Amino acid sequence: MYIHERLCLWLGHLKLSRVIFAVLLILFVVPLVTHYYLSKYESSSISLGSSSVRHTLDALGDFTTLTAADLKMRIEEMLRIKASVSTELRELEARRGRLQREAAAAGARTDALRAEHARAAADLTRLRVSAEQARIAQLEATRRDSPQLAPPLQLLPSRPPPRLPPPAHQSEPDCRMHSCFDHSRCSLTSGFPVFLYDPDNHAPLANAEVDGFLKTTLRQTLGYNTHLTQKAEEACIYVVLVGEAFPSDSKNPSPSSTTEGYKLVLNETAIRSLPYWGGDGRNHVLINFARRELSVGSGDAFHGAATGRAMIAQSTFTQGRFRPGFDVVTPPALGPPGGDVWADCAPIAPARRKYLLRSRRSVLRESTFVLILAPNDRSYVSTALLQARLYEALRSGAIPVILGGDRVQLPYNEVIDWRRAAILLPKARVTELHFFLRAISDADLLAFRRHGRVLWERYLSSVQASIDTLLAVIRTRLNIPARAAVPAVGAPAFNDSYSPPKLEPPTIDTEPEETLGPLEAPYPSPAYKRNYSLSLLHGYEMWNDWGEPFTLYPQLPWDTPLTSEARFVGSPSGFRPIGAGAGGAGKEFSEALGGDRPREQFTVVILTYEREAVLAAALARLRGLPYLNKVVVVWNGRAPPTMSWPESGAPVQVVRGARNSLNNRFLPHHLLETEAVLCVDDDAHLRHDEIVFAFRVWREHRDQIVGFPGRYHAWDLNYNNGFLYNSNYSCELSMVLTGAAFIHRYYLWSYWRLLPAAIREYVDEYMNCEDIAMNFLVSHITRKPPVKVTSRWTFRCPGCPVTLSADQTHFHERHKCIQFFSQVMGYTPLVSTQYRADSVLFKTRIPHDKQKCFKFI
């Protein structure tokens, strides 16, 4: 038993020794063999270590013959070899990393040098183009054979009209402007000064005082008129308020009373005693704003009276009394003194209303047409009743149908085309009236109604509108320009002693290497060059289509271009034809503006609100932009910080708004000197080629908004409650957002003069929709849609602070804006388009030695 136990113990020790030996063999031999095969592929220095390992392995021989001390020594030696090899491998890996980094840096430097070379080449090309344009400008200045026109000195009379003998009473009906008006008091450069006789001191109507409402209103309205002067000796015309009729005593009628019982006795002695009457009343205007709806034969305050050579302005005229081209037919003073009158108007749509034709006042808003009869007494060409009925019809949106319209005189008809707002028929057509009215299409009905509303709002709606129109008619006869529009003078953001320091902008590698145009010194657009020819050539359009005749503007979107030949023969100054007139592809295109207009630049207007970093980035992106005249920053909110502005390559001027208002975007600042104005948000990212392309497109569509983000007014299919604001991708659009769009400088004035004040107040209340309001205005004036350029639909500004448009209610408020603006204007003036402007040669295959107009557009 004992021998068996000892045998088992010995066998156990033997097995354990074998196990230990096998483990040692695996732990030390296998790494050595692995290292051997790996080290075969290393460098020559490593191969020496590999040879040593092989020698050591061969020397080991049979491990079973080694003692524990020898084996330990061998193992330590192998570990040292392993550590040495690992160190060498790490060093080689580090060296390889360094070489790779050096290669990458060298590649980056190569790319940077290539980009710098491309930029330098582009800059050199721009400099060459700029130098060539400067050379041409110098030659033009040298060859100019006529000096630049400057505004002439104002010529005014220095004394009142001298006293002359009164004309014979029988000669008064023959008065015309050439025979009864003293033009010497109204030189072309006089500015048309107007003097008002104080109604409290001069009341020419006998036995009655002038209506208090009219006296107060006349003072107020003329006080707003820029032509009013307090110096009678320098006046061109003298305005006298006569008043209106009053009931006479029917028991004791006088010879001057009318059959309707209204006494119309003019105190001729009071008229002739006016201090500046001059004996014959030349250059005087006698105004009678009859406010009562009187019957035929009434309302003529001058019946049988001798008025000398004075003009008469009133609603009632007889055939023998009215002097065409001299007297003026005016509407009665039925409206308010002035102000916003949009609430009085009925909507334009639908075209056909409940009733076809009515003559009752109570149902005018439900009638498509309203019947107005000419005076039964054929001796009258106009009556206060006729003018009052016309006024009511236009206000209610009912199209006036005047039977006997071929023999009546309508207000200011020497400048207003009433055929576009009223239907004038001879009384002989009464039997065919129903057929005639039924034959008019819906489009024509809406055109009649829209134009009638425009005429009513602009010339008839208030006493101020009537007074301004009356004076403008007389001034137009004399071909005297209106007073110049007064620009907005914004408060400078900094005092005169502080100038924000300029910083070099960071390098921005987002611009394509492309020559887009010359870099030139700022120069303004020519201004006020059509002062005396505008009313002659475009007087009809001023009164009946675009614009308004009360103010003179530096330029208009509709200024006439020269013919093609004139650019080369006779009037070449300022023109930059492509290829000197021979045309060309991209290279020649980039060197000159071309087109049918002289060279020009544009101004960038940026509206911002306390976002210094965003504004700085926006200014930096403008550096090197061709055709840039200056940058005007409109700063809403607190005073801007004394920060450093990045250098934009053009003058930067910062003005503060009087209050935080989105309407400040469209203030006609005095700093603007170019016709083209690029309105941009501070976070709108536009490439230079996109801006230059849009500018070139705008030059051919000067009366339209030209820009990038397109939007659409879509009909509310769920509730039929009007139009909704739609920003989805669509094959039609009707708006271009003014956060990135070109507009004409004229529309900045129109935004404050022609757009109803209620719309601007709505924009202020909701801090939204000023861009929609501008689209409404331009489409209302032109009846044209905006022009969208390129495929860009929206803007992204990563990292920008929260904007107004990020608010969830912003989008829903824009639905309400469209509906409210439509209610105010009586209709939705937006016009849809399926057109987008892209560059000529866009996607066109051209020879390899040519280039497209724009490489990326």
- Quote the distance between the C-alpha of residue 472 and its chain's center: 26
How many other CB atoms are there within 10 angstroms of residue 328's CB atom?
A: 25
d(CA 506, CA 511) in angstroms, rounded, equals 13
Q: Which amino acid is at 682?
A: D
What DSSP element (H or E) covers 154?
none
What DSSP element (H or E) covers 624?
none
Pairing between strand 628-636 and 491-492?
unpaired
CA proximity to 122, closest of 857, 855, 696: 855
Residue ranges with strand state E in 389-457: 399-403, 423-425
- Quote the distance between the C-alpha of residue 284 and its chain's center: 41
Which spans in 717-769 are helix H?
Answer: 746-753, 757-766
d(CA 340, CA 359) in angstroms, rounded, equals 28
CA-angle at 627, arms to 623 and 629, nearest 5°: 80
How many other CB atoms are there within 10 angstroms of residue 726's CB atom?
A: 19
- The residue from 771, 807, 838, 849 that is catalytic is 771
- Quote the distance between the C-alpha of residue 601 and its chain's center: 16
Could you tell me if 409 and 390 are in contact, meaning their C-beta atoms sit under 8 angstroms apart? no
Q: Which amino acid is at 589?
A: F
At residue 317, the 3 state secondary structure works out as strand
d(CA 852, CA 589) in angstroms, rounded, equals 9
User: Token pair of 440, please?
Assistant: 């008019």
| Orientation angle between helical segments 808-825 and 757-766, nearest 10 degrees | 170
How many other CB atoms are there within 10 angstroms of residue 808's CB atom?
A: 6
Whether 771 is catalytic: yes
Pairing between strand 723-726 and 710-715?
antiparallel
Q: Which single residue is written with the structure tokens 């002739």?
A: 272
Q: Edge-to-edge, what's the strand order for the sheet holding 723-726? A: 723-726, 710-715, 735-736
CA 786 vs CA 694, 708, 734, 745: distances in Å:
12, 10, 7, 16
15 burial class (0-12, 13-18, 19+ CB within 10 angstroms)? exposed
d(CA 46, CA 714) in angstroms, rounded, equals 79
At residue 790, the 3 state secondary structure works out as coil
Give the per-residue SS3 of 495-522: CCCCCCCEECCCCCCCCCCCCCCCCCCC
d(CA 831, CA 69) in angstroms, rounded, equals 102
Give the per-residue SS3 of 258-297: CCCCEECCECHHHHHCCCCCCCCCCCEEEEECCCCCCCCC
d(CA 446, CA 827) in angstroms, rounded, equals 10
DSSP labels, 410-479: -TTTTT--GGGTSEEE-GGGGGGHHHHHHTS-HHHHHHHHHHHHHHIIIIISSHHHHHHHHHHHHHHHTT
Could you tell me if 673 and 628 are in contact, meaning their C-beta atoms sit under 8 angstroms apart? no
Could you tell me if 581 and 609 are in contact, meaning their C-beta atoms sit under 8 angstroms apart? no
For the chain, how big is the Rg over CA atoms in Å?
43
Residues in the chain: 857
Q: Which single residue is written with the structure tokens 């309001």?
A: 773
DSSP 460: I
44 burial class (0-12, 13-18, 19+ CB within 10 angstroms)? exposed
d(CA 775, CA 817) in angstroms, rounded, equals 12
Residues with active-site annotation: 771
